[in-house]
Structures are given as C-alpha cells and as structure tokens.
Amino acid sequence: MTKEQFLKNLSVPTGRVDVVIDTDAKNEVDDQFAIGYLLKSSEKLNTVAIYAAPFSWPGKATVAEGMEESYQEILKLLDLMGEERPAFRGATRYLESSDEPVLSDAVLDLCDRVKGYSSERPLYILAIGALTNIASAILHCPEIKEKAVLVWLGGHGHELGWTDEFNMRQDMRATRIVMRSGIPFIQIPCECVASVFSISAPELKEYLVGKNPLADYLANNVLRAQENAKDKKWARVLWDVVAVGWLLNDNSRFMMSRVMPTYVPNDGYKYVLEDGAPESSYVFWVNRTALMTDLIDKLTK
C-alpha cells in the first residue's frame, strides 16, 4: 500500500462501505446500542458480518462463556430487529503467544471475506472489545493489513497518564500485535474521549422508552443497570457507539482526530512510543450532542 493510500484509509470513508463488527455484546449495555446504530445506518454502512468477541470476569464468566454469551446476544438483537446477518463465534481463549493465532469461525470468516477487498476498496472492521479475534486474523492472514481498516474503541486518552482499560487489558498481547501491525488503525480512547458520550435515565425515558421494541430493549437494559448504581443521579456511558460514529463522521460532524505515531501500552499500563511505530488516527474529541441526536433519531425510526 502506498503512503498516500495508507493516509487516505485513516480518513473517514466517503460513499457506502462494507463493515464487519467484532463485539463482546453481552459484556455491558453499550454494545447493543452500537449494533443497533450500525444496522440502522445502512444508508452508508453495509454490515456484512458480526463476530462475537471474548470477554471474561473472574468468578462470573470465563473467556469461552463470555464469547458465547456475546454470540447469543447478537442473535437476540438480530431477531429483535428483524435483521439477517451472518454471525460467527470468536475466540474461546486469549492469545497465549505472539505468533500463534486463536482460530475460530469469526477469524476464518474474516480472513476469507477480506480476500474480496483491496487497499483502494477496504473492508472496515469495527472492534468494540478485546482484540483477540482481530490479532488472530492478522497472524493467520497478514494480507488483511493491505485490505482492511480497523476502528477500535479501546485504551484511555493519552493525557490521562495510564491506560488500564478493559478492552485493552483483557488481551494485552493481542492489543500490542494489532497496534504494531501497520494495519490502517483508528483508536478511539475511552476515558477522556468516548467518556463524554453518556445518557441519563430521564433521557432514556423521554427519547427511547415506548418508541419501538428495539428502543425499549436498549433503554430498559440501561435502566436495570441503574438499579445497582450508588449514585441515583446517574448517567451511563455508551462507549461503543462512538466507534460506529467514526464511520459516519463526514466533515467531522461527530468527532475530531489527528494522525500521529501509534503509542503502545507497556506492562505498567503506560503508553510508550516505540522505534518505528506506525502511524494511526487518534480521536481526541467527540461532539456528544450531535452524535446522540443521530443515534436517537435512527433507533426510533
């Protein structure tokens, strides 16, 4: 890929593009919003496959259980929306070495699917969980780096000073493989960036409850989560929606980014600049009101 084409692929695409999404859909309540927003944005985004990403919580869910829960949640959302999309199970364990992929139906589908694309017409990958499936695909079929663009919601903002973030630390080996790989890569940090994209209980009740089955399901998921919140004057961050918003970010209407060398996390969860670091696009500001308006408008159609 030429440098000119690489930089072009770090920019928001024009026209309608093909997209796959890799999601730990049952981990929190925001993945469901992202999936709904993606499928409701078909005027620009053609969703060609959905992959179940792994997640784990000690004492609550193993990696394999987290992935399976995510897969079942994907099927539930598709049924709720009356949509049909290919859906595939992902990794049942995190990477155990830096040169051996964890093969799964999701990885094999992605490697086969990307063959039909090129650097001039790439496949867009939205990753909103641990990067196990994506790193495995890069290890299994390195040509993916020439034919795909990766948008990832993960890590924290550089200005925070540390980056012990869930998606990043679940599989740190996978994180480093991807960030060092040279695939056209857009990072949307969580704290300091996506953290502004929150919604409150009054907004959920005003804008989503009662509008349609999907809107009800999404809103009630969040409202149930509020019952366990210590502060009842509470708002929930819908982190993963911002990743979908990047693909819809024509004329920087939802967010702003800069092209810069990729900073990789070390074992102390500090970002470091390594020799020969590839360039990537780093989102540093989100227009919460504009993005929230578009999300609600589409979810309540």
Model confidence pLDDT, tens digit, residues 102-115: 999 999 999 999 99
**Residue 293 lies inside a defined structural domain of this protein:** no
Q: What is the pLDDT of residue 230?
A: 65
**Residue 214 lies inside a defined structural domain of this protein:** no
**Residue 203 lies inside a defined structural domain of this protein:** no
The range of the structural domain enclosing residue 96 comes to 3-197+238-287
Total domains, the chain: 1
Task: Assess whether pLDDT exceeds 70 at residue 13.
Answer: yes
HSE of 59, CA atoms in CB hemisphere, 13 A:
0
Rg (CA), the chain: 18
**Residue 229 lies inside a defined structural domain of this protein:** no
**Residue 223 lies inside a defined structural domain of this protein:** no
Separation CA 229–CA 63 (nearest Å): 26
Q: Which residues, including other chains, have CB under 8 Å from residue 247's CB and lie 6 or more apart? A: 12, 13, 17, 19, 41, 44, 45, 124, 126, 151
Q: What is the pLDDT of residue 232?
A: 62
Would you say 46 and 74 are in contact if contact means Cβ atoms under 8 Å apart?
A: no
CA distances from 228 to 197, 205, 223 (A): 20, 18, 10
Task: Dump the DSSP string for 124-153.
Answer: EEEEES-SHHHHHHHHH-TTHHHHEEEEEE
**Residue 220 lies inside a defined structural domain of this protein:** no
**Residue 231 lies inside a defined structural domain of this protein:** no
**Residue 206 lies inside a defined structural domain of this protein:** no
Assign residue 8 the CATH number of its domain: 3.90.245.10
Q: pTM for the complete prediction? A: 0.97
